[in-house]
Amino acid sequence: METLNTNIFDHDTSIDVTHKINTMELDNWINHLKYIKKELINLIIICNKDLKDNLGEHDIIERFEKKKSENNTLLNALLKYANSRTDIAECEDTQCDMIYITEHESYRRSYLYHLDKYRRLKDAFFDKVQGKFSLSRIEKSL
């Protein structure tokens, strides 16, 4: 994929600057989702190997698996979207530019929604794990 030159120059129009900022933002989203993908794999392994007995019947493993699938779906969509942005430089009117900007806003909302849900899931996991380990320590000290 050939990426848009993201250096911002004095002679760039506001639309050019917007496209460049959106490209940088998209690259960050993709890198973040790749990291989340690795993190989810590690969390699933930890749950399956090290914490299975402590988690009991909790559905956290299934929720991590589902989030992993959702993360992969969004990551693939963003990679496809990034490839489709190669024609931005060919836009000759505001209507064309606005199509790209509107599409980017839609992906931004999807990314932020996904990130919020993922953070909530991790918080639930850590609350559950912390509670289980705290109870285990208390029981052992009695």
Q: Per-residue pLDDT for the chain (142 aa), expressed as one digit of tens each?
A: 344 567 877 777 888 888 889 999 999 999 999 999 999 999 999 888 866 666 655 688 899 999 999 999 999 999 999 999 988 888 889 999 999 999 999 999 999 999 999 999 999 888 888 876 555 554 454 4
Domain limits at 52? 27-87+97-141
Residue 13 in any domain: the answer is no
Residue 64 in any domain: the answer is yes
Residue 72 in any domain: the answer is yes
| b/e burial code for range 50-68 (CB count within 10 A of at least 16 → b) | ebeeebeebebbeebeebb
Domain count, the chain: 1
Residue 109 in any domain: the answer is yes
Q: How high is the pLDDT of residue 90?
A: 87
| Counts of helices then strands in the chain (DSSP H, E) | 4, 0
Q: How far apart are CA 71 and CA 52, in angstroms?
A: 23
Q: How high is the pLDDT of residue 31?
A: 98
Residue 5 in any domain: the answer is no
Which helix (H) or strand (E) element contains residue 134?
helix 94-141
Q: How far apart are CA 49 and CA 17, in angstroms?
A: 48
Q: How high is the pLDDT of residue 117?
A: 98
Residue 21 in any domain: the answer is no
Q: How high is the pLDDT of residue 66?
A: 97
Asked if 36 contacts 116 with a C-beta cutoff of 8 angstroms, the reply is no
Residue 1 in any domain: the answer is no
Q: How high is the pLDDT of residue 1?
A: 36
Residue 40 in any domain: the answer is yes
